[in-house]
Amino acid sequence: MKDSKWTWRSVSLISIVTTIVLMVGLVYAVKDIIYPVGEVTESSLPQQTAAPVTETVKLLKIVALGDSLTKGTGDNTGEGFVKRTVTGLSAKGVTVDFLGNMGINGLTTAGLLSKLNEDGVEYALRMSNVVLLSVGGNDLFKDSDILENNGAQQGNTTSSTSGQELTPESLLAALPEAAARLEKILDKISQINPNAQVYYMGLYNPFGDIPELLAPGNQTVTKWNNTAMDIINEHSNMTLVPTFDLFNRHLDKYLSTDHFHPNGDGYQRIGERFIQAVQ
């Protein structure tokens, strides 16, 4: 009877001790989970301050296509909006590789559409990631005396070289076919280089200071710009850069002596718009 009593006491004591040990182990286990202490090795100690991670500077590879506005005709410095855009971006710290200016005086949408099939033009487009583009003015105003011989300055303000009066109807007559070609041009550029960002220059009205041509010119240019915007909105990588408001009521300050192309100050204003768009 006495042995049995001590046996039960021993069992109880062992149970208590075991319980205490388990509780202590549980406490340490929970502490290790909440406040883990990793193994400290020599490799885990800080060796030196890590250099800050810097963003990779994107290189803009710019090519320019289009008509006399792209070429910079009318600018006595020869820079035009293209060179001014490149220079302005560089001045703002943007890394620019200028691939070339392929602007051609008198180029129409039909002419540019044909040029896009040339190997040299295709190569330049494939190498670029930014395309500056101006075309369409020669299509809309090709029958104007102003383009041919400065007829407006000589008093012949409402007739074309063929004797046809410049009216909203006559000016707008060229728009449907020219707009269809512009759409093909933008599609073709996108096919050649789907990753390039295309910045198309909207048109302004160079005849806004000639009463007989104010309304026809404004209506034609507005219709063209709206049509171009509709086309461009179908491409996520394309932007229309507006210029109409830059020249409206300021033609005396921003047009060259030919009364059609911008002068240096006019091209500067256009360049600033392109810089804003590209950035």
Query: DSSP letters along 47-93, please?
Result: -SPPPPP-PPPPEEEEEEEESHHHHTTT-TTS-HHHHHHHHHHHHTT
When pLDDT is cut at 50, 70 and 90, the band that residue 168 belongs to is: low
Q: Rounded to two decimals, what is the model's pTM? A: 0.74
Of 204, 205, 222, 223, whose CA–CA distance to 214 is shortest?
Answer: 205
pLDDT of res. 80: 97
Tens-place pLDDT, residues 219-271: 899 999 999 999 999 999 999 999 999 999 999 999 999 989 999 999 999 99
CB 202 within 8 A of CB 136: no
Helix (H) or strand (E) holding 180: helix 175-192
Bridge partners (DSSP) of residue 200 are 133, 240
Of 46, 42, 81, 48, whose CA–CA distance to 65 is shortest?
Answer: 81
Q: Which of 1-10, 139-148, 161-170, 181-190 has the highest mean pLDDT?
A: 181-190
- Give the Cα separation of 256 and 263 in Å (integer): 4
